[in-house]
Amino acid sequence: MTAAEQTKRSYEQRPYPGPDLARLVGKGGSLPSLKWMQAIGRPDQPEPDRVLVAGCGTGVEAFVIRRRWPKAEIVAVDFSPRSIAVARRLQRSAGAVRPITFLVADLTDPELAEHTGGRFDLITCHGVLSYIPEPRPVLTHFAACLRPGGALYLGVNGQSHPATRLRPWLERFGLDVVEMKDERRLRELLGLWDCLHDDGVRDFASMSASYLASDVCGPHFNNWPMDRWRSEANRCGWEVAGVWLLPLALRLTIERGNHLPLFPAGVGELAERLDQARPAGFHKMLLRRAKPGGLDLEFGRNSERRLRWTGLYSVRFVKRRGSGRSTAVLRCPIFNLRLDWPLTSGQVGTLRTLVDFGVFPTGWQSHWVRSEASRRILWLWAGLGVVTFLE
């Protein structure tokens, strides 16, 4: 049996997620904020008309998206007929305002766009590509499914994901991880594992056997660092527009003033450099179709780059006594961040226009790109998701 067949068999036996789906939908599933996806992935565009949920399992992701965007047309696909049957049943019992179209489809099928109708504004694919041995063709099929200006959200395993270590470890104690049973021995071993990894991030001992069997001890994993995922995506014409962990990681470097060696680097490059130093267990990344010079964060002295205020942050200006200068206090509820930036009066004036109208006024360059210090502010703001580039 190939790894793909084993994966399918595993999800047929145990559709994902298991029993507590209603609770998961209630707390928003594991997806990052849809506001973030829209602001960074599709700046300057209305809410999506058509969304594809690729590898939807029993439908949590699709139901969460339906709540946020009640009018969108949502198509959700999975290659496990049993998972799709569960999703359809749940939909019938919930009686959604606008039904989601649940379909059985394989993401590796070159005719994915024909099967799903294509023309999507947003594709979400959470926790799926890590189980597909060759994800590159899937990334190409996604491109064929996208409308111009659309975005792709990917949630994929990172290098420090415990999957590759936990499975052989359990096998070493004689456990059958293929036919995993919810036995006492399994719980004892998971308790031991958790106690040895007391990082407060994961608590395997309390996870359902079905989740453990398919998602943690499954037959195949691409537990790749950011640079591998990024290079796979680049080869298929995608460019990294945002990475969920980036604002939090960057904040750590800014707080102690250690960020200077990172400058300048585009969003994707920046995320790679940080991931190399501190490998993530899971990457949540937003991709757009690559354009020449598209999302690079380097600013020339006469930069014509068009920046967009993302609306993810609020801004308040505090005057600094005696200096004629102000500090912009930026707050982002999504990332629970607060950052203070001392600015010149010219910067304050242009920033007010950026906040009110979404884009800088003409002549903004004289305040923002003439010195390295101010170029660095824009560069940091792009990494933090305060601003993003328009194509």
Ligand X SMILES: C[S@@+](CC[C@H](N)C(=O)[O-])C[C@H]1O[C@@H](n2cnc3c(N)ncnc32)[C@H](O)[C@@H]1O
Catalog residues that contact ligand X under the rule CB under 6 A: 7, 11, 16-17, 30, 55-57, 60-61, 78-80, 83, 106-108, 126-128, 131-132, 215
Quote the least distance from Cβ 7 to ligand X, whole Å.
5
Quote the least distance from Cβ 118 to ligand X, whole Å.
16
Nearer to ligand X, 281 or 294 (CB): 281
Residues 6+ apart with CB under 8 A from 193: 166, 169, 204, 205
Nearer to ligand X, 18 or 383 (CB): 18
Nearer to ligand X, 110 or 342 (CB): 110
Quote the least distance from Cβ 252 to ligand X, whole Å.
27
Contact criterion met (CB below 8 Å) for 308 and 387: yes
Quote the least distance from Cβ 23 to ligand X, whole Å.
13
Residue nearest to ligand X as judged by C-beta position: 57
Burial per residue of 322-343, b for 16 or more beta-carbon CB atoms within 10 angstroms, e otherwise: eeeebbbebebeebebebebeb
Nearer to ligand X, 73 or 106 (CB): 106
Nearer to ligand X, 57 or 268 (CB): 57
User: How many Å apart are CA 305 and CA 291, to the nearest integer?
Assistant: 13
Nearer to ligand X, 7 or 350 (CB): 7
Quote the least distance from Cβ 83 to ligand X, whole Å.
5
Nearer to ligand X, 67 or 370 (CB): 67
Q: Which two tokens stand for residue 71?
A: 């009018």
Q: What separation, in Å, do the N-terminal and C-terminal C-alpha atoms of the chain show?
A: 45
